[in-house]
Amino acid sequence: MAVRFADVLQTVEWLVRLLRGKRLGGDPKLIQACEQFARSYGKSRGNPKAYVKLVDQILPALADVAIKARVDGALVEEMTASLRDPTAPQGAHRRFLVALGEAVGAL
């Protein structure tokens, strides 16, 4: 499946919305990294390497979020494994967000 880069931006914005929710209390550094990516998104025209870099950068914080929200750690491992292919992390990231949204009652 080809990644549509508009979907990448939506995925990052979805993560920010979940992080700001009452149940997660939002890690300011994680939110800041995501918002910085979103702001620069139009300038980079959805560069897949920039998205992979963001996911790689935020993985440790997402692992902490997974523990806090009791989300299956295998979903974080899937994101880690997906970093080898610039088009793969978005699908793994979305699966993580679905589980996170369910865990915090946002879905």
Contact indicator for 77, 93 with CB cutoff of 8 Å:
no
The 10s digit of each residue's pLDDT in 47-64 is 677 888 899 999 999 999
The pLDDT value given to residue 46: 58
Q: State the pTM of this model.
A: 0.80
The burial of 90, by beta-carbon neighbours within 10 Å (0-12 exposed, 13-18 middle, 19 or more buried), is given as buried
Query: In the chain, what are the domain boundaries?
Result: 5-103
Selection from 7, 29, 13 nearest residue 89 by Cα = 7
7 has a pLDDT exceeding 90? no
The 10s digit of each residue's pLDDT in 61-105 is 999 999 989 999 999 999 999 888 766 788 888 889 999 999 988
Contact indicator for 5, 27 with CB cutoff of 8 Å:
no
In the chain, how long is the greatest CA-to-CA distance?
36
35 has a pLDDT exceeding 70? yes
Q: Which of the four pLDDT bands, split at 50, 70 and 90, describes residue 44?
A: low
